[in-house]
Amino acid sequence: MRVLGIETSCDETGVAIYDSEGGLLGHAVFSQVDLHAEYGGVVPELASRDHVRKLLPLVRQVMAQTETTPADLDGIAYTAGPGLVGALMVGACAGRALAYAWKLPAIAVHHMEGHLLAPMLEEKPPAFPFVALLVSGGHTQLVDVRGLGDYALLGESLDDAAGEAFDKAAKMLDLDYPGGPRLAALAEKGDPQRFTFPRPMTDRPGLDFSFSGLKTYTLTTVREHALEDGLPDEQTCADIAAAFQEAVVDTLVIKCRRAIQASGHRTLVIAGGVSANKLLRERLEARLAEEGASVYYPRHEFCTDNGAMIAYAGYLRLQAGERTGLAVDVRPRWPMTELSGSDIRNGSGNGDKDHNGSLA
């Protein structure tokens, strides 16, 4: 089975083709970072317009690179949520229209399920069941993953997600957009021992997160050490960045250890933009090894939004017999626990079903 995947949930336009026998045949991503940089964040209307400009040329590019014709495809997968509604509509309309024109089945894919499954594209993929830490954009979640679509939410952020906290802390230090990676780079020059930042909600039971207090603590520290221009000196900025990163990483690691202990699973999957953080990967591998657990994550290019993860997730859903109807329906907010399970986890399909699990 060969599937075209389309991702347009935010500020990356991603297209990929996944083949059940050949694996990932090709993919391309166009980032809108330069477009949004002058505004210090994503402008939804500009994001939607740029997807309109870039999507179909990327589809043509990837199909040419992989020598794929419409006749070679067995289905089209597109992101239907969560995300920016205008951006989602671009990919959903294009994906559904191409599927209709080429007489192919289409499948609406959950963006976070795509991230969750991204490590499956690696040479040594994880096996169900496992605990997943999803740290992408506005999401920080711990999920008990028993199979495709069989998810139980263990904990989530009650306010700012980890990625949002990184971006906001970066703005406090006057770092350019995108702030998260730039703060991580600055932290490498800092002394993480100079300041001691709080580890939110680690002094009580549970697996929920909260980063708003850490954000406030960071702002207070910046103001206390600010010079006449409103910022601390260069080394102090680096030290604050290092202390902030340590606090976020420690918090995530503590919660992941608790989730592994509570679930009884011996595998952790981490996915989403923050999963590219070098310190987080090192700490998780070291601390979870003490629990006898292994850590899996996607390669760096698949940590951020991409079409490959959507093509793969779509392939699994299509192989299980699921289909999405002709109506174009996107969901800016879409709890992953509302997704239906599938017999694909047992190695077999479950007949032709629509995306809600009812017989088509």
Q: How many CB atoms lie within 10 A of CB 103?
A: 8
Annotation-wise, does 163 bind a ligand?
no
Annotation-wise, does 9 bind a ligand?
no
Annotation-wise, does 138 bind a ligand?
yes
What distance separates the 2 farthest-apart alpha carbons in the chain?
Answer: 68
Looking at per-residue pLDDT, the higher value among 346 and 129 belongs to 129
DSSP 265: -
What is the distance between the terminal CA atoms of the chain, rounded to a whole angstrom? 21
Annotation-wise, does 167 bind a ligand?
yes
Annotation-wise, does 275 bind a ligand?
no
If you write DSSP's letter for every residue of 118-167 in order, what string do you get?
A: GGGGSSS---SSEEEEEEETTEEEEEEEEETTEEEEEEEBSSS-HHHHHH
Annotation-wise, does 98 bind a ligand?
no
**Alpha-carbon torsion 82, 57, 49, 75, what sign?**
negative
Annotation-wise, does 111 bind a ligand?
yes
Q: What is the mean pLDDT of residues 259-272?
A: 97
Q: What is the mean pLDDT of residues 83-88?
A: 98
Containing H/E element for 296?
A: strand 294-296
Annotation-wise, does 277 bind a ligand?
yes
Is the CB of residue 65 less than 8 Å from the CB of residue 22?
no
Reply yes or no on whether the pLDDT at 83 is more than 50: yes
Q: Which residues make beta-bridge pairs with 136?
A: 139
- 110 vs 49: CA distance, rounded Å: 22
Q: What is the mean pLDDT of residues 323-336?
A: 94
DSSP 270: E
Reply yes or no on whether the pLDDT at 342 is more than 80: no
pLDDT digits over 170-224, tens only? Answer: 999 999 999 999 999 999 999 999 999 999 999 999 999 999 999 999 999 999 9
**Helices marked H in the chain — which ranges?**
33-37, 44-65, 85-101, 111-117, 162-172, 179-187, 212-224, 234-263, 278-289, 307-319
Res 41: pLDDT: 92
pLDDT digits over 13-44, tens only? Answer: 999 999 999 999 999 999 999 999 999 899 99
Is this model's pTM higher than 0.85 or not? yes
- 266 vs 294: CA distance, rounded Å: 6
Give CA separation, 351 vs 94, 127, 151, 319, 359, in Å.
Answer: 26, 23, 21, 9, 8
Annotation-wise, does 81 bind a ligand?
no
Reply yes or no on whether the pLDDT at 351 is more than 90: no
Reply yes or no on whether the pLDDT at 275 is more than 70: yes
Reply yes or no on whether the pLDDT at 350 is more than 70: no
Residue in 65, 75, 70 with CA at minimum distance from that of residue 28? 65
Res 137: pLDDT: 77
Q: What is the mean pLDDT of residues 307-320?
A: 98
Average pLDDT in the chain: 93
Annotation-wise, does 180 bind a ligand?
yes
Annotation-wise, does 136 bind a ligand?
yes
Q: Structure tokens of 297?
A: 């994550």
Residue in 277, 47, 301 with CA at minimum distance from that of residue 162? 277
50 Cβ contact partners less than 8 Å away, ≥ 6 residues apart: 13, 32, 35
